[in-house]
Amino acid sequence: MPERDATDIPTDDPRPDDLRRAPSLVLVNTGPGKGKTSAAMGVVIRAVARGWAVGVVQFLKSGAWKTGEEKVGKQLGVDWWAMGEGFTWDSTDLTQDQAVAVGAWQHAKDLIRAGGHQLVVLDEVTYPLNWAWIDLDDAVETIRNRPGHVNVICTGRRAPAALVEIADTVSEIAEVKHAYKAGIRAKKGIDY
């Protein structure tokens, strides 16, 4: 961590002179640290506060899981689909997990193309993309050719280069320190 230094206080405006508005954006939250989905949920809250229709498609989290973000999202009127099969290391049939991911992608693709939501979150989509369970070219084309008002957030580790390329904003979340490394289990209300 850098040391504190009062001489580092910004006094010049760092914003570019030629800022313009965009009809929609693609955001990617990636990296090895925890908090990619949590960051996307912050945007979900902003979008709901602005009266946007929001949809979340989760590619690994199962509908049987009871997560805090899903509970509050539904309370806020977010359309929510937890369509995954859970952690791959717990799977007894990865072929089934792949088929479920393909179905989740078809649902997400239809959701994006329909244009009924101003924000669509594709939570943990990078995993099935990296495992070639979902066609990367199809995903990139769908996101690139989305209706002009549809914003998309993709989360997950190791975002594919083609996804990074079409994104307007890419945030890499690094792990500096995490309770897991000290043997502390995930905490309800903090981690899920």
Q: What is the pLDDT of residues 69-94, one digit of tens each?
A: 999 999 999 999 999 887 777 777 88
Of 6-15, 21-30, 66-75, 144-153, which range is least confident? 6-15
pLDDT score for 122: 98
Q: What's the chain's average pLDDT? A: 92
pLDDT on residue 84:
85
**Can you list the positions of beta strands (E) in the chain?**
26-30, 54-58, 79-82, 119-123, 151-155, 169-172
Single out the residue of 163, 70, 63, 158 nearest to residue 104, CA to CA.
63
Q: How far apart are CA 98 and CA 106, in angstroms?
A: 12
| Per-residue pLDDT, 56 | 98
What integer pLDDT is reported at residue 39 of this predicted model?
Answer: 97
pLDDT score of 1: 61
Looking at residue 178, its pLDDT comes to 87
For residue 81, give the 3-state DSSP assignment.
strand
Q: pLDDT at position 8, please?
A: 80
Tokens of 93: 């049939």
Question: In CATH, what number does 23-150 get?
Answer: 3.40.50.300
Q: Binning pLDDT at 50, 70 and 90, where does residue 112 land? A: very high
Contacts with 51 (C-beta within 8 Å, 6 or more apart), sequence order: none
Q: Which of 167, 97, 165, 166 is nearest to 132 (CA)?
A: 97
pLDDT of residue 52: 98
Residue 13's pLDDT band (cuts 50, 70, 90): confident
**Residue appearing with tokens 């979008």:** 47
What percent of the chain lies above the pLDDT cut of 70? 99
Is the pLDDT at 186 greater than 90, yes or no? no
Decide if pLDDT at 5 tops 80: no
pLDDT confidence bin for 2, thresholds 50/70/90: low
Q: Which residues, in sequence order, are bridge partners of residue 191?
A: none
